[in-house]
Amino acid sequence: MKPPPLSYSRPHSLDEALDLLAEHGDEARPLAGGQSLVPMLNHRLSRPGLLIDIGAIAQLQRMERTESGWLIGATVTQRRLERDGTGGCDLLRLAVPFIGHRQIRARGTVGGSIAHADPAAELPAVALTLDATMVAAGPDGEREIDAASFFVGPYMNSLAEGELLSHVVFGEVPPTARCSFREFARRKGDFAVAGVAAAVATDDGSVTDARLTAFAVGSNPVRLSAAEGVLAGRSIDSALADAAEAAAAEIEPWDDIHGSAQYRRQLIATLTKRALQDVAP
């Protein structure tokens, strides 16, 4: 199938893009890399009257280290992130190669993936693990949205009408933290059936900071707070089984053609164990 008839605009400034959004309202959709939106157009699942291609806006292509963390503009491609480095952010470095195939990453953007809020996507899980801040640009200026508030449901985010995701700031982890990213998919490049992102810091063998996130097991990525609590103050080896059990218990997966809820619980338990073994000192 082909997209329904629509108009196309390619603004060269953020203000111009925001003016177009304000003028056309619900009829307008921003287009970044198009790896999610274009298939939806082709299948007539989305029928905007106007596509606003934000790919030419230089302001959205920044990629730099800041005091707050690693700032990545909304239209930075995943392949650029993979090729040019991830600013010392190990979790990003580990996660990006799992995103689709190289051709997908060549067009797909960081902001597009996060704004699309696919429960099985890798970058939202990284954002939640690193307590990322999403910066939304709108008619009243910029506002910050923490990752825990940004993802509100499958393919749903908390951007207000007339706002665009401008950039994402991925937070820092303690200098002693080690990271792991574990994902299970039927074939390399397929959507994840289940996955776990981990960033864990230890001191003298005991866990001082633990961040664990499960994804592809519900409507949003899920911080595994109970499993994090189990790890606190203990050695990873002594807490391994308890943390894996806690992780499996605190998700609410669903049944689908890729696996039952119980299957996903078992996957999360196994992936949590493997991720923690990766980061053990």
The pLDDT value recorded for residue 126 is 97
pLDDT tens digits along 73-123:
999 999 998 888 665 679 999 999 999 999 999 999 999 999 999 999 999
What is the rounded CA–CA span in Å between residue 200 and residue 177? 5
Q: CB-based contacts of 231: which residues, under 8 Å, 6+ apart? A: 200, 207, 210, 239, 243, 276
Locate tokens 């985010």: which residue? 157
The pLDDT value recorded for residue 229 is 98
Whether residue 2 has pLDDT greater than 90: no
**Residue 208: what residue type?**
T
CATH for 58-170, among 3.30.465.10, 3.30.70.150, 2.60.40.10, 3.20.20.10? Answer: 3.30.465.10
Residue spans in the chain of domains classed CATH 3.30.390.50:
178-279
pLDDT tens digits along 244-254:
999 999 999 98
pLDDT tens digits along 12-27:
999 999 999 999 999 9
Looking at every residue in the chain, the average pLDDT score rounds to 94
What is the rounded CA–CA span in Å between residue 209 and residue 172? 12
Residue spans in the chain of domains classed CATH 3.30.43.10:
7-53
Residue spans in the chain of domains classed CATH 3.30.465.10:
58-170
CATH for 178-279, among 3.30.390.50, 3.40.50.10490, 3.20.20.210, 3.30.70.100? Answer: 3.30.390.50
207 pairs with which residues across the strands?
Answer: 202, 232
Q: Which CATH architecture has domain 7-53?
A: 2-Layer Sandwich (3.30)
Residue 6: Cβ within 10 Å count: 15
pLDDT tens digits along 179-219:
999 999 999 889 999 999 999 999 999 999 999 999 999 99
The pLDDT value recorded for residue 38 is 85
The pLDDT value recorded for residue 85 is 64
Q: CB-based contacts of 127: which residues, under 8 Å, 6+ apart? A: 114, 134, 147, 150, 168, 170, 221
Q: CB-based contacts of 189: which residues, under 8 Å, 6+ apart? A: 100, 101, 104
Locate tokens 């990003």: which residue? 92
